[in-house]
Amino acid sequence: MTSNFEISPLTLGTVSLGLNYGVFEGQRQPDKRTAVHLIDTAIKNGITCFDTAREYGTAETLLGELLSGTSVGQVSIVTKFKISKEAVGDFSLAKEQARSSVLASLQQLKLARLPFCLFHMVSDYNTDVVAEMLPGLFVSLKQEGLIGSGGISIDNLSELPRLAFLPEVSVLQLPLNIFDQRFPEDHPVWEQLEKENKIVFARSVFLKGLLLRNPSALTGNLQPAAFYLEGLAAFAKRCKMSIAQFCFSYVRNFKAIDSIVVGADNEAQLLENIGLMRTPPIPQQILEEAKFFFKDVPEQLLIPKNWKL
């Protein structure tokens, strides 16, 4: 979808810049100097979109400091707000909490208006109640001139059909990776998203790093993933790709996806992620085999909050 703001094919996720986000050993929050360098390197390499949230520690503050001198339209910031469980179904309380969060984001980001403001969906919330309440929240925020486009960050891909097509929801962020075959690229929901000109950001391409792990290093309830990781390595080898290239190419194949959110802990990792944009497509025959192979991955492996290492 077209937008008044620049949306690059890659979006830099900043959660790991603002807090210790890593699940696995070796995933650590970079220091401020490194974080500043990463953002600068991203811009120099054509990344114009940055993903953040109120709950990402110091990430919003960092972006505000670094991007405050950048002209409007040159970069785009996607941020998110949450509401409490008590506010779900209580419109007045939800409106108060949403407005408070947005005002705090504006202050930290040093912006007069948020280009993209997403509601951070929590899978424990009643989806129908959220669907009824959310459009009114965005109308209120827009009337005050606090946000440009409203949207939703989906916690679980199963929520996609119910929440994607709500009034006032023009932007979506969702987890998408080769392990999750509930909505493959030929599912009609993607065509409908294109028809309705939704802006779609895909995250979790590597499933919080699980898809890049050594199968023998898995512990806890992630051990059943070893079988699928071995299969993933075999598919990548047949394509003469690295596992990262194979995973990235799979998501890039979705025509409805406008931008892929990637994080980085250091410059080498960031440049490697940027280079993944040049990965060739997966041959169709291998793609179909992979989709069939991964169609029964247990849901406990797809939802990081269910992991017990």
Position with higher pLDDT, 192 vs 73: 192
Q: 74 lies in a domain? A: yes
Position with higher pLDDT, 1 vs 220: 220
Q: 124 lies in a domain? A: yes
pLDDT digits (tens, 9 = 90+) for 222-254: 999 999 999 999 999 999 999 999 999 999 999
Residue 72 has pLDDT above 50, yes or no: no
How many whole angstroms separate alpha carbon 153 and alpha carbon 270?
23
Q: 290 lies in a domain? A: no
**Number of domains forming the structure of the chain:** 1
pLDDT digits (tens, 9 = 90+) for 253-304: 999 999 999 998 889 999 999 999 999 999 999 999 999 999 999 999 999 9
Count CA atoms within 13 Å of residue 267 on its CB side: 9
129 is in which domain, residue-wise? Answer: 10-214+251-280
**Dihedral sign from CA coordinates of 8, 241, 178, 29:** negative
Q: 156 lies in a domain? A: yes
The pairing of strands 171-175 and 10-13 is unpaired
Q: 222 lies in a domain? A: no
How many whole angstroms separate alpha carbon 156 and alpha carbon 182?
11
Q: 285 lies in a domain? A: no
Query: CATH code at 118?
Result: 3.20.20.100
Q: 302 lies in a domain? A: no
**DSSP helix/strand/coil, 123:** coil
DSSP letter string, 60-103: HHHHHHHHTTSPBTTBEEEEEE---GGGTT-HHHHHHHHHHHHH
DSSP letter string, 253-286: T-TT--EEEE--SSHHHHHHHHHGGGPPPPPHHH
Closest CA to 100 of 77, 82, 86, 113: 82
Per-residue pLDDT, 58: 86
28-33: long-range pairs with CB below 8 Å, 24+? 28/265, 29/265, 30/265, 30/266, 32/62
Q: 63 lies in a domain? A: yes
Task: Check: CB of residue 282 under 8 Å from CB of residue 197.
Answer: no
pLDDT digits (tens, 9 = 90+) for 32-51: 888 888 999 999 999 999 99
